[in-house]
Amino acid sequence: MRLSDLRRLLDEEFGPGYAPTVAADHRISGLGSRTADEAVADGVQPRTVWLALCDDFEVPESRRLGRDRPLRRDAPLD
């Protein structure tokens, strides 16, 4: 997972107005009480950060991968 994926998932789950606050202020219990921003800056993989946030906020399994997106019509199907 890339950092951009983490930001997208945060926006989808918490809304674009609240997501930056979650990333900057919420202390993640499973990551040594660091915020998402601190953990990423310390080299923690974005996927690990996202899953730890999901645990803290009790995000259901069905939403942990983000929203389903339609296939792009111009994308090759191979």
Say which residue, 57 or 74, is predicted with more confidence.
Answer: 57
What lies within 8 Å, CB to CB, of 26 at 6+ separation is: 35, 36, 53, 56
Give yes or no for residue 78 having a pLDDT over 60.
no
- Kindly state the tokens that stand for 23: 């990333």
> What does each C-alpha distance from 19 to 9, 24, 36, 74, 78 come to in angstroms?
9, 9, 11, 31, 35
Residues in the chain: 78
Write out pLDDT tens, residues 1-59.
899 999 999 999 999 999 999 999 999 999 999 999 999 999 999 999 999 999 999 99
pLDDT of residue 68: 62
The reported pLDDT for the residue numbered 63 is 86
DSSP label at residue 44: -
